[in-house]
């Protein structure tokens, strides 16, 4: 049965009077610096908003309110800043127009609103100020300063660029552009290392290349770049000495040195080991073999011992480098204890030697990696300087450097202090050390020295919750949160306030949260206070349910030699959980399952599914929902190149650039824009003699061929955005209106977001690169562009998000489906930074077998820290639920470990009273609806009388031509696509472009000269040093030009009386044409027109001349014919790439 209805008596609701206003007013008091610890859902955004409003209002003692420009509020996200600003502006707008007194219980007046906000009766000055605040804030230059820390830093650097050592026109680059520059910096470093293989850099690259593949190396570089601040501060001039000292080494102690020392006679008990050999010789076979190995090693020279050290170690240690449990066999168990003690001492010595060697290797690898990191960061910084660019980390680091500069900081702080009196920090637990340093620099003069003001109480307000610190990958840490709390308590005398009354979640949800974290072991890293929440939503129904684990089905045994002719799918635990969620949601929607507090049935937009990480399970979950026609908004982050609609567009572009690409053409033919099915594609592909494109051209699909031919032409001249926008906006073979409509027919509205983001990336590419289609495709493939989608609003679809992405969001129904894990080991980078380990230097050891003991201890501390964050992540996930929380999990091939979310929650269910269990094994706890719904939607009864109007007939028609002439048509800039130019990089074609231009110029300059001077003048012109042409090419150009000028058939075209560069204007088919004819000859009976074509290959026949050129010559001919109606007009094309003069005799047939 369903767990959505009570089976027995519900959990009794405790009736308590809850008044959160008291603590919220204390926290928002504008005269005190306050540090607020706000649990999830306790209204921290409201407290921040109230604080800003009270700062703007006059004080109780009559002091004026704070001007808007003297308030700075720093938020964690742009969405949070936007929400705060919207709330404040909305409140001020209402204050300006609302009545002074109450009008019924539901219509509070301004006096009541101000009284609830401040806690005292408003005076007349308060009322007047409240009415005027909206105008005051709007008139403030820049408005209220509510922004992210990055936006604030950008504003500081924009205000003081010279002081910060920046170009005044610097720009901020996004993550994809930063990654591109980083890759370029890496390649530059590798090229430099390859040029100087014996340099320290070259040796470092060689050593690291042995240990890491390309993907691992790329991740290492990203880690180095994220930690540029630590790289700069911790990797200083004395870094190598400090590194070796941390690992207990001297700088000269390399692996080879340590191994050599370990093999010298004076460093081990040689005599004792010889005695051991004598005893082992009298033992069993195993003892004798061990004795022989010992004897050989002892008899060898130190150099020989180094080579056989690995064999020698096996006599004492296991493969896991632990001491053998039995160093001597039972046969000689009565041997003197001194023998066994000697073996034990040697085994212990070897363990120390191994760890010593590992430490030396760790030191060497760390030193080499830091050298690479410094070189890459240096080159990366050079590239950014060349582009006047800053990435997001630069905004923080440059601002901090500016505020740390002893020469510039006093001036900057003086100018800032003159404009700031109150600083508010939101989501303080997510602030990293560098951001805290910036904040502390801004505040350090607030309360002492010249920055303190007797007449103005300057304050700092901080709100956060260490239980919700889940962004360690951005270097946020609860320890910093606590450290800064103590710092401000000393500096600003902050007052601590706790907010524990939740406005978000009902009692049953909060009761489960409290019980899960009741054991002190689960609260490590979350503060030592017992976690206790109170729900403000008294009497509202709630439910928490724990589903049984989804178990994978066993693979049935098959008889030996069974032929693999049947496809069998064995449902996994993941797949069964995805199906269970899909079925459950479908049942809710089908039967109209109600959410009592909303007083309506569940909608897809009410449901939020939270996962820990984006795994294959997310794809299974999306598929389970879509197959049931349940609207789903997709995941909160998508890789653009993996979206089907985008892949189809890329396939079309790849074909257009290379029609011989059979795979791309096959993908394009099956895409929604063309729509061939498998059978049709098979008919084209099977038994074809040439390429798939040739097969298609000879097929009956003439419409598709025509469309693709145009696409090939567009690809040669269009910019990326223009090309893809044309694909989506113009008709295609699958739809007569637009390609976009064809995509939506096949893929649905889900394709809209990927296509929009894809076009945005095309525009972004054109801003920073030469806008070629080929370049864009390469850039897109290399970049692996990931789009972060904003899913704050529920909309009408189920949301699937990671817990990190859901921070700050909420939903009536929350499902946690992947609460199990099969290993406690976290995905920890092998590069350990000081802020995570407590050491003075970073450490890197690429292989687990090479971890020295110091590294292992540091890594264990980091793993413990990540375990704490794993539990904090569970707290964040559970507290997103407003009314209902469902917990599920699945089993893989291994049993889930005890330390997982599912077991934490299951243990809490076992400890709680009132938990029930249905026949399906679902445990649940619920409380009924005993008060009026607190979130019932107001339904308006407005009726649209006229209905939806019919779509006008012109909606999908092409717009008519504009009245002529709006502007002149230039035939040399045609609307039709031109043929592609020759590549200047082709084999042997390095001077082709220059040759064409010179030929064009000579044909203009030489005809007016006397015939006998033309060759000499041409030779002199091509020999100009600026042309930089080889001698043989100079001769070829002069010979070809003279062949044209001296040709008897065309001699008249360049004879005396012919004209060069002749401008013409005229009306052709109601279009104003303005052009310039390259060569014109007017005789008594005819007019000859010549147009030069440069840098393009000439066709072999007139019928192969591109249509655009023929239309151009028709325009010239028609205008000239109007000027000389009694003369015959002849047209020629002179292809300078050859050169070749081609008459156009069939223009009249167009």
Query: Is 70 exceeded by the pLDDT of residue 984?
Result: no
Whether 522 contacts 908, CB under 8 Å: no
26: helix, strand or coil = helix
pLDDT in tens, 761-802: 899 889 888 899 999 998 888 766 777 666 555 578 899 999
Catalogue the E-assigned strands of 468-623: 495-499, 501-502, 534-535, 542-546, 594-595, 600-601, 607-611
Which range has the top average pLDDT, 287-296, 834-843, 880-889, 1002-1011?
Answer: 880-889
DSSP state string for 150-180: HHHHHHHHHHSTTTTT--TT-EE--HHHHHH
Given pLDDT bands bounded at 50, 70 and 90, which one contains residue 603? very high
Say if residue 432 is preceded by a cis peptide, omega within 30 of 0.
no
808: helix, strand or coil = coil
Given pLDDT bands bounded at 50, 70 and 90, which one contains residue 460? very high
550: helix, strand or coil = strand
Residues 6+ apart with CB under 8 A from 445: 413, 417, 451, 452
The predicted model gives 1095-1105 an average pLDDT of 79
The predicted model gives 188-216 an average pLDDT of 89
The predicted model gives 206-227 an average pLDDT of 83
Task: Say how far apart CA 271 and CA 298 lie, in whole Å.
Answer: 10
Q: Alpha helices, DSSP H only, in 730-784?
A: 739-747, 752-768, 773-783
Given pLDDT bands bounded at 50, 70 and 90, which one contains residue 78? confident
Predicted local confidence at residue 587, as pLDDT: 95
Residue 694: C-alpha distances to residues 655, 689, 706, 714, 808 (Å)? 13, 8, 13, 19, 56
pLDDT in tens, 901-917: 999 999 999 999 989 99
Predicted local confidence at residue 991, as pLDDT: 67
Q: Could you give the angle at which helices 44-56 and 110-118 cross, rounded to 10 degrees?
A: 110
Q: Which of 176, 119, 6 is nearest to 782 (CA)?
A: 176
The predicted model gives 620-627 an average pLDDT of 90
Task: Say how far apart CA 121 and CA 576 lie, in whole Å.
Answer: 61
Fold: same for 21-78+143-164+393-499 and 992-1149? no
Q: Which of 487, 479, 441, 445 is nearest to 462 (CA)?
A: 487
948: DSSP letter = P
Question: Where is pLDDT greater, at 534 or 894?
Answer: 534
Predicted local confidence at residue 320, as pLDDT: 84
Query: Is 90 exceeded by the pLDDT of residue 1056?
Result: no
The residue count for the chain:
1150
DSSP state string for 694-738: HHHHTSS-HHHHHHHHHHHHHHHH--HHHHHHHHHHS-BTTBSS-
- What does residue 495 show for φ and ψ, rounded to 5 degrees? -105, 125
- What does residue 581 show for φ and ψ, rounded to 5 degrees? -65, -45
**Exposure on the CB side of residue 518, measured as CA atoms within 13 A:** 14
Whether 376 contacts 221, CB under 8 Å: yes
Whether 925 contacts 514, CB under 8 Å: no
Q: Which of 182, 158, 181, 184 is nearest to 170 (CA)?
A: 158
**Hey, what CATH topology would domain 638-788 get?**
PCRA; domain 4 (1.10.486)
- What does residue 828 show for φ and ψ, rounded to 5 degrees? -100, 135
Query: Is 80 exceeded by the pLDDT of residue 456?
Result: no
- What does residue 914 show for φ and ψ, rounded to 5 degrees? 85, 5
Predicted local confidence at residue 2, as pLDDT: 37
Query: Is 80 exceeded by the pLDDT of residue 826?
Result: no
Computed over every residue of the chain, the mean pLDDT equals 85
Q: Which residues of 148-157 are buried (b: 16+ CB within 10 A; e: fewer)?
A: bbbbbbbebb
Task: Say how far apart CA 837 and CA 136 lie, in whole Å.
Answer: 50
- Identify the bridge partners of residue 694 per DSSP, sorted by sequence position: none
Query: Is 60 exceeded by the pLDDT of residue 206?
Result: yes
- Identify the bridge partners of residue 546 per DSSP, sorted by sequence position: 887, 923
Task: Say how far apart CA 396 and CA 145 lie, in whole Å.
Answer: 18
Whether 1052 contacts 1044, CB under 8 Å: no
Question: Where is pLDDT greater, at 648 or 408?
Answer: 648
- What does residue 29 show for φ and ψ, rounded to 5 degrees? -60, 120
Q: Which of 799, 806, 148 is nearest to 468 (CA)?
A: 806
Question: Where is pLDDT greater, at 655 or 331?
Answer: 655
Whether 84 contacts 144, CB under 8 Å: no
| Residue 26, number of CB atoms within 10 A of its CB | 15
Question: Where is pLDDT greater, at 972 or 519?
Answer: 519
Residues 6+ apart with CB under 8 A from 1011: none
Query: Is 60 exceeded by the pLDDT of residue 1149?
Result: no
Residue 815: C-alpha distances to residues 298, 380, 732, 810, 874 (Å)? 66, 43, 42, 12, 12
Given pLDDT bands bounded at 50, 70 and 90, which one contains residue 16? very low
Structurally, what CATH architecture does the domain formed by 992-1149 represent?
A: Alpha-Beta Complex (3.90)
Predicted local confidence at residue 332, as pLDDT: 66
Provide the CATH number for the domain formed by 21-78+143-164+393-499 in this structure: 3.40.50.300
* HEC assignment per residue over 296-347: HHHHCCHHHHHHCHHHHHCCCECCCCCECCCCCCHHHCCCCHHHHHHHHHHH
pLDDT in tens, 640-662: 888 889 999 999 999 999 999 99
Task: Please classify residue 119 by burial: count the beta carbons closer than 10 Å to its beta carbon, then call 0-12 exposed, 13-18 middle and 19+ buried.
Answer: middle
Residue 727: C-alpha distances to residues 376, 674, 707, 741 (Å)? 40, 11, 10, 11
Residues 6+ apart with CB under 8 A from 1088: 1052, 1053, 1079, 1080, 1081, 1130, 1132
Given pLDDT bands bounded at 50, 70 and 90, which one contains residue 1000? confident
Q: Which of 203-212, 355-364, 584-593, 1100-1109 comes out lowest in average pLDDT?
A: 1100-1109
Task: Say how far apart CA 280 and CA 1122 lie, in whole Å.
Answer: 118
Task: Say how far apart CA 459 and CA 495 lie, in whole Å.
Answer: 11
Q: Alpha helices, DSSP H only, in 1006-1047?
A: 1011-1022, 1031-1046
Radius of gyration, CA atoms only, the chain: 39
| φ/ψ bin of 295: left (φ > 0), alpha (ψ from -120 to 50), beta (otherwise) | alpha
Could you tell me the pTM of the whole model? 0.78
Query: Is 80 exceeded by the pLDDT of residue 963?
Result: no
735: DSSP letter = B
Structural domain spans, the chain: 21-78+143-164+393-499, 177-386, 638-788, 992-1149
Residue 9: C-alpha distances to residues 3, 458, 511, 908 (Å)? 14, 55, 17, 20
Task: Say how far apart CA 256 and CA 260 lie, in whole Å.
Answer: 6
Given pLDDT bands bounded at 50, 70 and 90, which one contains residue 399? very high
Residues 6+ apart with CB under 8 A from 387: 171, 173, 181
Residue 83: C-alpha distances to residues 20, 87, 92, 814, 1016 (Å)? 22, 6, 14, 23, 78
502: helix, strand or coil = strand
pLDDT in tens, 827-875: 788 899 888 888 889 999 998 888 999 999 999 888 888 899 999 999 9
Task: Say how far apart CA 709 and CA 702 lie, in whole Å.
Answer: 10
- Identify the bridge partners of residue 786 per DSSP, sorted by sequence position: 639
Q: Which residues of 624-657 are buried (b: 16+ CB within 10 A; e: fewer)?
A: bbeeeebbbbbbbbbebbebebbebbbbbbbbbb
774: helix, strand or coil = helix
Percent of the chain with pLDDT over 90: 35
Query: Is 70 exceeded by the pLDDT of residue 446?
Result: yes
- Identify the bridge partners of residue 1067 per DSSP, sorted by sequence position: 1072
């Amino acid at each position: 049965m369903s767990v959505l209805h009570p089976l027995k008596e519900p959990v009794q609701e405790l009736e308590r009077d809850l008044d959160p206003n008291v603590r919220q007013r204390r926290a928002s008091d504008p005269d005190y610096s306050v540090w607020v610890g706000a649990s999830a859902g306790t209204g921290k955004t409201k407290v921040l908003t109230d604080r800003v409003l009270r700062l703007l209002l006059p004080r109780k003692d009559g002091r004026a309110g704070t001007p808007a420009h003297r308030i700075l509020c720093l938020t964690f996200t742009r969405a949070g800043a936007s929400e705060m600003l919207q709330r404040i502006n909305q409140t001020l707008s209402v204050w300006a127009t609302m009545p002074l007194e109450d009008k019924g219980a539901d219509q509070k007046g301004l006096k009541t609103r101000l009284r609830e906000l401040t806690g005292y009766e408003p005076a007349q000055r308060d009322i007047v100020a409240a009415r005027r605040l909206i105008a005051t804030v709007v008139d403030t230059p820049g408005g209220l300063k509510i922004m992210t820390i990055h936006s604030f830093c950008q504003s500081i650097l924009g205000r003081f660029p010279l002081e910060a050592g920046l170009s005044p026109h610097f720009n901020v680059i996004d993550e994809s552009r930063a990654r591109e520059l980083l890759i370029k910096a890496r390649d530059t470093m590798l090229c430099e290392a390859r040029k100087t293989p014996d340099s320290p850099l070259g040796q470092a690259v060689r050593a690291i290349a042995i240990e890491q593949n390309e993907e691992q190396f790329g991740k290492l570089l990203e880690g180095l770049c994220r930690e540029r601040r630590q790289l700069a501060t911790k990797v200083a001039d004395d870094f190598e000495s400090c590194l070796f000292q941390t690992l207990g080494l001297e700088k000269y102690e390399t692996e080879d040195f340590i191994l050599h020392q370990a093999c010298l006679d004076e460093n081990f008990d040689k005599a004792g080991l010889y005695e051991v050999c004598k005893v082992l010789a009298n033992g069993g076979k195993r003892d004798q073999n061990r004795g022989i190995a010992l004897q050989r090693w002892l008899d060898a020279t130190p150099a020989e011992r180094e080579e056989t050290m690995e064999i020698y170690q096996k006599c004492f240690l296991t493969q896991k480098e632990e001491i053998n449990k039995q160093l001597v066999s039972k046969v000689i168990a009565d041997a003197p204890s001194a023998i066994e003690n000697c073996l034990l001492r040697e085994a212990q010595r070897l363990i120390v030697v191994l760890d010593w060697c590992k430490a030396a290797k760790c030191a060497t690898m760390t030193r080499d990696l830091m050298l690479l990191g410094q070189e890459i960061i240096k080159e990366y910084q050079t590239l950014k300087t060349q582009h006047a660019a800053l990435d997001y980390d630069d905004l923080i680091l440059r601002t901090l450097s500016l505020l740390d500069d002893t020469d510039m900081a006093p001036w900057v702080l003086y100018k800032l202090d003159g404009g700031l009196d109150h600083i508010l920090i939101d989501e303080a637990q997510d602030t990293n050390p560098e951001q805290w340093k910036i904040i502390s620099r801004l505040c350090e003069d607030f309360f002492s020295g010249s920055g303190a003001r007797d007449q103005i109480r300057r304050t700092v307000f901080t709100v956060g919750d260490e239980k919700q610190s889940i962004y360690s990958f951005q270097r946020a840490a609860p320890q910093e949160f606590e450290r800064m709390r103590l710092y401000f308590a000393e500096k600003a005398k902050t007052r601590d306030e706790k907010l524990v009354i939740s406005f978000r979640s009902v009692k049953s949800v909060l009761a489960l949260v409290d019980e899960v974290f009741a054991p002190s072991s689960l609260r490590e890293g979350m503060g030592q206070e017992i976690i206790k929440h109170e729900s403000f939503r008294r009497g509202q129904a709630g439910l928490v349910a724990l589903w049984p684990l989804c178990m994978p089905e066993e693979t049935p045994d098959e008889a030996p030699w069974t032929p693999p002719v049947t496809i069998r799918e064995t449902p996994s635990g993941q797949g069964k959980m995805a199906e269970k969620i899909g079925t459950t949601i479908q049942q809710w929607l089908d039967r109209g399952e109600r959410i009592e507090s909303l007083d309506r049935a569940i909608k897809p937009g009410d449901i939020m599914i939270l996962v820990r990480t984006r795994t294959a399970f997310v794809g299974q979950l999306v598929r389970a929902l879509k197959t049931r026609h349940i609207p789903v908004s997709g995941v909160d982050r998508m890789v653009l190149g993996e979206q089907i609609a985008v892949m189809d567009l890329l396939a079309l572009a790849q074909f257009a650039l290379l029609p011989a690409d059979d795979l791309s053409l096959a993908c394009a033919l099956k895409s929604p824009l063309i729509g061939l099915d498998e059978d049709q594609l098979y008919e084209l592909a099977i038994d074809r003699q040439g390429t798939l494109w040739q097969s298609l051209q000879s097929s009956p699909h003439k419409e598709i061929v025509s469309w693709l031919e145009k696409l090939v032409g567009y690809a040669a001249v269009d910019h990326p955005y223009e090309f893809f926008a044309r694909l989506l906006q113009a008709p295609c073979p699958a739809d007569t209106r637009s390609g976009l409509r064809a995509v939506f027919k096949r893929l649905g509205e889900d394709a809209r977001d990927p296509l929009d983001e894809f076009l945005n990336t095309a525009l972004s590419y054109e801003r920073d690169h030469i806008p070629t289609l080929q370049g864009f495709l390469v850039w897109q493939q290399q970049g692996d562009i990931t789009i972060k989608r904003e899913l704050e609003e529920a909309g009408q679809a189920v949301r699937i998000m990671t817990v990190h992405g859901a921070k700050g969001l909420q939903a009536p129904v929350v499902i946690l489906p992947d609460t199990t894990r099969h290993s406690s080991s976290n995905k920890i980078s092998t590069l350990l930074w000081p802020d995570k380990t407590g050491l003075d230097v970073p450490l890197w050891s690429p292989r687990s077998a090479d971890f020295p003991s110091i590294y292992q201890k540091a890594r264990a501390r980091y793993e413990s820290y990540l375990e704490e964050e794993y539990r904090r992540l569970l707290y964040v996930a559970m507290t997103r639920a407003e009314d209902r929380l469902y917990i599920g999990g699945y089993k893989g091939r291994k049993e889930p470990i005890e330390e997982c979310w599912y077991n934490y929650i299951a243990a809490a269910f076992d400890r709680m009273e009132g938990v029930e269990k249905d026949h399906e094994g679902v445990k649940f706890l619920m409380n009924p609806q005993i008060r009026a719904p607190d979130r019932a939607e107001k339904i308006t009864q407005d009726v649209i009388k006229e209905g939806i109007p019919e779509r006008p007939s012109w909606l999908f028609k092409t717009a008519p031509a504009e009245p002529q002439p709006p502007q002149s048509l230039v035939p040399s800039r045609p609307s039709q696509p031109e043929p592609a130019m020759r590549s200047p990089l082709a084999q042997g074609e390095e001077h082709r472009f220059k040759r064409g231009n010179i030929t064009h110029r000579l044909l203009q300059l030489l005809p007016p000269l006397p015939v006998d001077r033309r060759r000499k003048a041409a030779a002199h012109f091509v020999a100009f040093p600026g042309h930089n042409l080889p001698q043989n090419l100079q001769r070829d150009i002069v010979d070809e030009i003279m062949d044209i000028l001296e040709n008897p058939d065309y001699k008249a075209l360049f004879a005396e009386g012919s004209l060069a560069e002749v401008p013409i204007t005229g009306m052709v088919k109601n279009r104003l044409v303005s052009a310039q004819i390259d060569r014109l000859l007017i005789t008594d009976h005819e007019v000859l027109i010549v147009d030069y074509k440069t840098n393009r290959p000439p066709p072999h026949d007139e019928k192969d001349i591109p249509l655009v050129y023929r239309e151009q010559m028709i325009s010239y001919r028609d205008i000239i014919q109007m000027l000389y109606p009694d003369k015959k007009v002849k047209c020629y094309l002179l292809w300078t790439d050859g050169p070749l003069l081609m008459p156009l005799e069939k223009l009249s047939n167009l």
